[in-house]
Amino acid sequence: MTKQWTRLTDSQWNEVKDYLPINRKTKHQLRDVLDAILWLVRTGT
């Protein structure tokens, strides 16, 4: 069974980005990290 990968929409990202440490230097973009976490939660993987 293939599960579809869905990314946050721009409006969803704009709602949550104020709660994240955007100015902190990171190896990965926070939007990508959040997308991955949400995918794990949705799929139960």
Q: How far apart, in whole angstroms, are the C-alpha atoms of residue 19 and residue 21?
A: 7
Task: Determine if the pTM surpasses 0.85.
Answer: no
- Residues 5, 27: Cα–Cα separation, whole Å: 22
Q: What is the pLDDT of residues 3-14, one digit of tens each?
A: 566 789 999 999
Confidence of residue 22 (pLDDT cuts 50, 70, 90): confident
